[in-house]
Chain A
Amino acid sequence: MTHKAKPSRTLTTEELARVEGEGAMRVEIHEGTVGRVELNIYEPPRFFEGFLRGRRYSEPPDITARICGICPVAYQMSACRAIEDALGLEVNGQLRELRRLLYCAEWIESHILHIHFLHLPDFFGLDSAIDLAGINRPAVERALALKKIGNELLELIGGRAIHPINVQVGGFYKVPTRRELLAFRPKLEHARDMAAEVVELVGGLDFPELEVDHEMVALRHPTEYAILDGRIISDGGLDITDQEYPEHFVEEHVEHSTALHSRIRARGTYLVGPLARFRLNFDRLTTVAADAAGAVGLTADCSNPFRSIVVRAVETLDVIEVGLAIVDAYDEPDRPYLEATIGGGTGHGATEAPRGLLYHRYKLSDDGVITDAVITPPTSQNQAAIEDDLTRYVQANIGLDDEELRKGAEVTIRNHDPCISCATHFLDLTVVRT
């Protein structure tokens, strides 16, 4: 890596003035070769890990939900599982099924939002889903209808779509009746039909060529396409429990970002999210979802990040199918939650947020007060992989003019749906050519 142009930290400040509190990207090109590439996350730090200290064990589900308005359930589920791990509490049976159903609802809402509002306009050279409605209104109306069904299911189980209020350590405050869930079934059936159409739509897009070789990391469950729990595995040989996460992963603070960079201790950069899940769990998809993937030519070994939009569509179809099965088998539990016995200890919890593995760890004192909290969101785990994708993309397309290159690079970042508290849409690109 050569740095003939003087690497200047002051450029970072200039960028800050133009990124308006979100993210930015900086690429340096020296004599036709990509040099330094930085994904800058400027989101002001909010210190959740700091102020969780001193709070009671029961508080993280409500508090950590506020990290992200798009995937609050992911934070609630990882928090609950980590605290339950510390307290020796196992939530199984119908309470676990209800958690999965709530999480499925969030996947529908989040994936549909990302596919149509954040990502799809790029493939048509448009600025927004509203512009997209100008050329394909039925697709946008279908997206809104699908997203609404996801949100309604979130409200039915969680009370509210953004920052659900019905989740607590051990289960829920109130569980829905069987009748309420069955009454929702027709909407899910409608959603299944619409999701199948979304797979067809995005499966037929034109994708830039790009192959990556990141180590792929995701949860793996014995029978399910893992969302709520499972072992943390990778195609590089990792196969560990949540409790072993700190032994294998390390977070570093880099100067150009307020989000920490995460690495596998033994090997370095890795990828979490749809591509990783799909590769590692293809055999756990429902038949409907696997068939839909096959029909658009998506295979488990896909390593083109631009096709992650298709994976999201297939995953949406899959969670709707899973949701239907949970609804059909639902039997109202006797109690909405399991009572916790307060005690000290350390607990770990990893779940699959829509954009990838989300790990929480809490240390509790004997009276149930948090003394230490660690939260590792998908974006900090993916940051190095995203920078690597950018390098590859820009190098492969170095002949394009700056504007085209900027657009392509933006899509390259959006492939990963980076959650810059949580979904920065626009990323500024500075290209320095020397």
Chain B
Amino acid sequence: MNNRSGSRPKLAVWKFASCDGCQLTLLDCEDELLEVAGRVEIAHFLEASSARVAGPFDLSLVEGSITTAHDADRIRKVRAESKSLVTIGACATAGGIQALRNFTDVDEFLSVVYATPSFLSTLGTSTPISDHVPVDFELRGCPIDKRQLLEVIGAFLAGRKPNVRDHCVCVECKQRGNPCVLVAHGTPCLGPVTHAGCGGLCPAFNRGCYGCFGPMESPNVESLIGALTEVGMPAEDVDRVFHTFNAWSEPFRTAGRREERP
């Protein structure tokens, strides 16, 4: 607010194939929004403003995955205009739930949903932003966590690395005091292989983690699959549980296809 006009860093928010939930997370920072808006120049954020300021941009937040040839071009232009580019959420970071098309023939989906598929132009794949352009930081989650988002924005504006830890959900469960649903109740849970960020949310509500933050760094997926099988999870359910919101991220990609695993 007290910055001189024109000297504030320029923030842009871009949307590709997605549900808008991750950009909404920024608007859901009710206590901080006006403060953030005072410290940056919101140059491009269509969900919040119809003003468009031309680039270059100091920080671009990118939501959504690449599913059309047009969007593949567009992300290259966004990259060229952005000093720092951060992906927000599972779609931009891992291809999102729409990456389920990557495992099948997209024409089949087209014909299920649309009577006249020839009206549409879409790629056969949904891919993360990092498949197309260099990315400076990837923020995980479906949706992202607002505390992590504020940390990332603050860090990039201050020119430092974001302090977003890469351990698994289990650590957050311990911090929250959740009993382990897998050990205590035999409830299938992806917490041991899932990236932290939610705060151990699902186990606090008596359900197993379903992996919406995607894989942590170096997860031992095979070991977890053994544990899931031990508590009675059928093989096809094991396949499906990895194939949701981060299906295209390794190693969930192959964990969800038993026949493809060695």
Does A129 interact with chain B (Cβ within 8 Å)?
yes
Q: What 0/1 readout, one digit per residue, does chain B (34-75) give for beta carbons within 8 Å of chain A?
A: 100100001001111111000000000000100110110010
18 pairs, CB–CB < 8 Å, chain A vs chain B: A20-B46, A45-B110, A55-B240, A62-B244, A66-B96, A66-B142, A68-B21, A113-B24, A127-B49, A130-B33, A131-B49, A140-B34, A145-B30, A147-B28, A148-B31, A162-B143, A166-B207, A253-B115
**B116 to chain A: closest residue by CB:** A253
A375-434 residues at the B interface, CB under 8 angstroms: 410, 421-426
A173 CB contact (under 8 Å) in B34, B106, B206: B206
| A45 and B30 form a contact (CB under 8 A) | no
Given known A44-B122, A147-B30, contact A56–B237 (CB-CB < 8 A) = yes
Task: Chain A residues near B46: list those with CB within 8 A.
Answer: 20, 22, 424-426
- Report B-chain residues with C-beta under 8 Å of the C-beta of A253: 114-116, 119
CB distance from A261 to the nearest CB of B (A): 11
The answer to whether the Cβ of A67 comes within 8 Å of any Cβ in the partner chain is yes
- Per DSSP, chain A at the interface is loop
Q: Is A312 an interface residue (CB 8 A)?
A: no
Question: CB < 8 Å: which of B19, B28, B37, B240 contacts A66?
Answer: B19
Asked if B150 is at the interface (CB within 8 A of a chain A CB), the reply is no
A130 contacts B49, C-beta separation under 8 Å: yes
How far is it, in angstroms, between the C-alpha of A150 and the C-alpha of B254 when the chains are bound? Answer: 39
Tell me whether B25 and A50 are in contact (CB under 8 A).
Answer: no
The answer to whether B112 touches A49 (Cβ under 8 A) is: yes
Contact A47 B109, CB 8 Å, known A130-B48, A425-B48: yes
Count of A interface residues, CB-CB < 8 Å: 68
Closest-CB distance, B191 to chain A (whole angstroms):
13
- Say yes or no: A50 contacts B108, CB within 8 Å: yes
CA separation between A29 and B115, bound complex, in Å?
Answer: 30
Question: Is the C-beta of B227 less than 8 angstroms from some C-beta in chain A?
Answer: no
For residue B127, CB closer than 8 A to chain A, the reply is no
Contacting residues of chain B (158-202) with chain A, CB-CB under 8 angstroms: 198, 201-202
- Bound-state CA distance A56–B236 (Å) is 10
Chain A CB within 8 A of B140 CB: no
Q: Which residues of B contact A89 (CB under 8 A)?
A: none
List residues of chain A with CB within 8 A of the CB of B51: 127-128, 131
A129 adjacent to B30 (CB under 8 Å): no
Confirm or deny: B242 has a beta carbon within 8 angstroms of a beta carbon on chain A. Answer: no
**A109, chain B: closest CB distance, angstroms:** 8
The verdict on A159 contacting chain B, using a C-beta distance below 8 Å, is yes
B100 within 8 A of A: yes
Residues 285-328 of chain A, each 1 if its beta carbon lies under 8 Å from chain B, else 0: 00000000000000000000000000000000000000000000
What is the bound-complex CA distance between A20 and B52, given in angstroms? 12
A182 an interface residue at 8 Å Cβ cutoff? no
Interface residues of A in 96-140 (CB under 8 A from B): 113, 117-118, 121, 127-131, 133, 137, 140
Complex Cα distance A162/B201, Å? 13
Q: Is B97 an interface residue (CB 8 A)?
A: yes
B75 → chain A closest CB, angstroms: 10
Decide if A72 touches B21 in the complex (CB within 8 Å). yes
Complex contacts, A249 vs chain B, CB 8 Å: none
A410-B50 Cα distance, complex, nearest whole Å: 11
CA distance A254 to B244 in the complex (A): 30
A144→B50 contact, CB < 8 A: no
Task: Given A144-B30, A162-B143, A163-B143, decide whether A45 and B122 contact each other with a Cβ distance below 8 A.
Answer: yes
Ranked 4 nearest A-B pairs via Cβ: A69-B21, A50-B109, A128-B49, A127-B51
Evaluate contact between A56 and B20: CB separation under 8 angstroms.
no
Q: A129-B48, A130-B42 are in contact. Are A163 and B17 (CB under 8 A)?
A: no
Determine the chain B residues whose CB is within 8 A of the CB of A16 once the complex forms.
70
Q: Of A17, A48, A70, A133, which contacts B24 at CB under 8 A?
A: A70
Please determine whether A63 and B112 come into contact, CB atoms closer than 8 angstroms.
no
Chain A residues, CB < 8 A from B50: 121, 127-128, 410, 425-426
Asked if B82 is at the interface (CB within 8 A of a chain A CB), the reply is: no
- Evaluate contact between B109 and A165: CB separation under 8 angstroms: no
Contact of A21 among B28, B34, B74, B212 (CB under 8 A): B74
From A20, A130, A162, contact of B34 by CB (8 A): A130
Question: Are A69 and B19 touching (Cβ within 8 A)?
Answer: yes
Tell whether A45 pairs with B20 under 8 Å between CB atoms, given A159-B204, A159-B205, A174-B205. no
Nearest-neighbour CB distance to chain B for A157, whole angstroms, equals 10
Contacts of A127 in B (CB 8 A): 49-51
Q: Which residues of A contact B42 (CB under 8 A)?
A: 128, 130
The listed residue with most A CB atoms (<10 A of its CB), out of B28, B106, B204, B240, is B28
Contact yes or no, A69 B24, CB < 8 A: yes
- Against B, the Cβ 8 Å flags (1 = close, 0 = not) of A66-89 are 111110100000000000000000
Contacts of B110 in A (CB 8 A): 45, 47, 50
- Per-residue CB contact flags for chain A residues 30-64 toward chain B (1 = under 8 Å, else 0) read 00000000000001111111110101100100110
Q: What B residues does A161 contact at CB under 8 A?
A: 28
A252 at the interface (CB under 8 A from B): yes
User: Does the CB pair B30–A159 fall under 8 Å?
Assistant: no
Distance in angstroms from A406 CB to nearest chain B CB is 11
Residues of the A chain whose Cβ atoms lie less than 8 Å from the Cβ of B70 = 16-17, 21
A255 within 8 A of B: yes
A145 to B100, CA, bound (A): 38
CB-CB under 8 A for A63 and B22, given A45-B113, A173-B207: no
B240 adjacent to A59 (CB under 8 Å): yes
Contact with B along A134-176 (1 / 0, CB 8 A): 0001001100110110010000000111110110100001100
Asked if B101 is an interface residue, CB under 8 A from chain A, the answer is yes
Check: A260 CB closer than 8 A to any chain B CB: yes
Contact assessment for A69 and B20 in the assembled complex, using a CB-CB cutoff below 8 Å: yes
A129: chain B residues at CB < 8 Å are 48
CA distance A148 to B108 in the complex (A): 42
B-side contacts of A118, CB under 8 Å: 47
A258 at the interface (CB under 8 A from B): yes
Inter-chain CA distance A253–B115, complex, in Å, is 6
Q: State in angstroms the CA–CA spacing of A336 and B206 once bound together.
A: 10
The distance from the CB of A122 to the nearest CB of chain B, in whole angstroms, is 8
Q: Is the CB of A44 within 8 A of B67?
A: yes
